[in-house]
Chain A
Amino acid sequence: MKFSQALKMAFMSLKSNRMRSFLTMLGIIIGVLAVTMLISTVQGATSEVTEQIQSLGSNLLIVNVMSPKETYYTVEDLEALESRDSIAGVAPVVSRSASLKAGANTTTASVEGVTAKYGRIRNLSLSAGRFLCDIDVTARSANAVIGSETAETLFGTGDCIGNTLYIEGRAFTVVGLLTETKNSMIGSSDNVVIIPITTAQRLMQSKEIPMIYISAETADSVEEAQVAVDRFFLRELGDEDYFTILSQAAVLSLLDEVMGTMTILLGSIAGISLLVGGIGIMNIMLVSVSERTREIGIRKAIGAQRADILTQFLIEAVVLSLTGGLIGLALGALGLSLISTAFDLTARLTVSTAALALGFSAVVGIVFGSYPANKAARLRPIDALRYE
């Protein structure tokens, strides 16, 4: 018997039992819906976070120092690192949260003391004014570059360049305004005041430099730069537990791992509902086989072979699960576009997720269909014909 013929027979039999077919499919529909929605949402969130991490620049290394001892390296020591071939720039940062005041307005923001190179290494862009320059650092000037949110809180929407703001009582002149970076998952850089590192150290009364941004010459020299940086801090601090070096690649691979685990976890939870749907199919196919025992007997008496009956019932099961899978997929795509607009997420149904969901529902149909189909095919024609 030809496959197309078997397919036609399967559709006819499913059509004659519409309500039952639909209810059986419902299990698969819900399962596929859950799988696609969960996996796609996690994938959407992953790609968003990945994008943000990548926007940091692939050449970047971030050193965090957590030494229990007082550290002695200076801005000048760190700048010596720049002589390495693999390292393009070194930007030490001291930071602390501090209270700000301008006119009648007050706020709290992160005050970051940096060198002139910081702006380039972090890819900061300005919407007005200028960034700090070397002279600001050497002269311990009281100039500040402020984030867009800070600017709005302190000065309103008007031009703020040249205005004065007070950081813990000390007056600073605003020389630059950072471009708005929008809401970012890795910390907003809009509520910030950037001042020369020398000024900051005096303000904070500390010589320690707890964080250093280092950019490698190229993406290829990141590893080499990391080795040099590691050696430098090991020599300065004496213990590798006292500092960590984060590279974009390391963060990305960590993220990948976490999100991969999430996907598998959520996918398997949703997969369980697919499994339950499969059991529903098996159940209804078994009912169908025993209801149609006589029909099977007739078919065998007029020439159907075991394989014909097997194919017929197997195809019915797979048609049920695949149709359910397709409907679930369509609903999933619809649901995802709703979620995307509602929560401002980019959760899209990817081809691989769709293929996975459909493939899985086909497998469910075959696995849970084969026992009833085999049962039908094995019926002895004489017993089947006598069945009332």
Chain B
Amino acid sequence: MIEMLGIRKTYWMGDNPVHALNGVSLTVGDHEFVAIVGPSGSGKSTLMNIIGCLDTADEGVYRLDGQDISDYSERDLGVVRSRKIGFIFQQFNLLMKLTAYENVELPLIYQGLPAGDRKGRVTEALERVGLGDRMDHRPNQLSGGQQQRVATARALVTRPSLILADEPTGNLDSQSGTEIMALLESLYLEGNGLLLITHDRDIAARAGRRLHIVDGVIESDSGEGERV
């Protein structure tokens, strides 16, 4: 459950303020599929980074699952991130020196899970994204679509309540993009909250709810409760 009230975030380009978010208020339920759309520089990524606890707002209140985390320190936000959120990035962001298996294992290592418990979960996550036979491959031995699937497995291996995807299909060909979206939608159908940023109208159309952001404010919100 995401509750945001009057969120503002300003960056400084030299002496010029850039109002990335200019008073955003938003409530997202536990099990929604939300697409965030809007032109470049509209503040969508900033919004997602704040939701994902990678960044903090300058002003406003942010409650995640009832917890007010507006004033959390970097350390405390790290804990929230590790327990509740799974990230998928446009550039995959896999560690190139690690195998697919090791990349997916990493979030569990940081959660402090013992090695014995990790193996089953990592294997399960990789099989879930259809890469059970590519576990020992490094990212440079995998196609873009496969890399994004590894990243998806890495996001879901901690069983987060919320999956955040920043243009997950942006760097993929349409075939791979469709596969990744099918995977994300199935995760949503299994009970995960799903928030994604996209430029693709077709993908946005599949979401239960569309937020249109322009110049740091929500210009339109198709509202809660809709289903695919």
A382 and B54 form a contact (CB under 8 A): yes
CA distance A316 to B87 in the complex (A): 27
Interface residues of A in 283-324 (CB under 8 A from B): 294-295, 298-306, 308
CB under 8 Å from chain A, chain B span 80-133: 81-82, 87, 89, 93-95, 97, 106-107, 109-112
User: Bound complex: CA of A300 vs CA of B155, how far in Å?
Assistant: 13
Q: Tell me if A302 and B110 are in contact (CB < 8 A).
A: yes
Contacts of B109 in A (CB 8 A): 1-2, 5
A298 touches B93 (CB 8 A): yes
Contact status B78-A382, CB under 8 Å:
no
Residue interface bits A331-375, CB-to-B below 8 A is 1, else 0: 000000000000000000000000000000000000000000000
Interface residues of A, dominant DSSP: helix
Contact assessment for A303 and B111 in the assembled complex, using a CB-CB cutoff below 8 Å: yes
> A92 on the interface (CB 8 Å rule)?
no
Contact A1 B54, beta carbon cutoff 8 Å: no
| Interface of chain B, main secondary structure | helix
Does B158 sit within 8 A of A, measured CB to CB? yes
* A385 in the interface (beta carbon within 8 A): yes
Bound CA span A380–B49, Å: 12
Considering only CB atoms, which chain B residue lies closest to A298 in the complex? Answer: B93
Which of A1, A301, A306, A385 is B75 in contact with, Cβ under 8 Å? A306
Give A376 Cβ to nearest chain B Cβ, in Å: 13
Q: Are B110 and A301 in contact (CB under 8 A)?
A: no
- The answer to whether A382 touches B79, judged by C-beta atoms less than 8 angstroms apart, is no
A16 to B98, CA, bound (A): 11
Residues of A within 8 A of B54 (CB): 300-301, 381-382, 385
Distance between Cα atoms of A300 and B55 in the complex (Å) = 12
| B74 interfacial by beta-carbon distance below 8 Å | yes
Which of the residues B52, B95, B112, B155 comes within 8 Å of A2, measured between beta carbons? B112
The answer for the CA separation of A97 and B75 in the assembled complex, in Å, is: 84
Residues of A within 8 A of B110 (CB): 1, 299, 302-305, 308
Q: For the complex, is B210 an interface residue (Cβ under 8 Å from A)?
A: no
| A269 lies within 8 A of chain B by Cβ | no
B78 touches A306 (CB 8 A): yes
Nearest Cβ distance between residue A117 and chain B, in whole angstroms?
79
Q: Mark contacts of A1-38 with chain B using CB atoms, 8 A cut-off: 1 yes-contact digit, 0 otherwise.
A: 11001000000110010000000000000000000000
Shortest distance from the beta carbon of A340 to any chain B beta carbon, whole Å: 45
| CB-defined contacts of B8 to chain A, threshold 8 Å | none
Which 6 pairs show the lowest CB-CB distances between chains A and B?
A303-B82, A303-B110, A382-B55, A305-B78, A302-B107, A303-B107
- Can you sample 25 A-B contacts with CB below 8 Å? A1-B109, A2-B109, A5-B109, A13-B97, A16-B97, A295-B95, A298-B94, A299-B110, A300-B78, A300-B81, A301-B89, A302-B107, A302-B110, A302-B155, A303-B81, A303-B82, A303-B106, A303-B107, A303-B111, A303-B158, A304-B110, A305-B82, A306-B74, A382-B49, A385-B93
Q: Apart from A302-B154, A304-B82, A380-B55, list 14 A-B contacts with CB within 8 A.
A: A13-B97, A294-B93, A295-B95, A300-B54, A301-B81, A301-B87, A302-B106, A302-B110, A303-B107, A304-B78, A304-B106, A305-B79, A305-B110, A382-B49
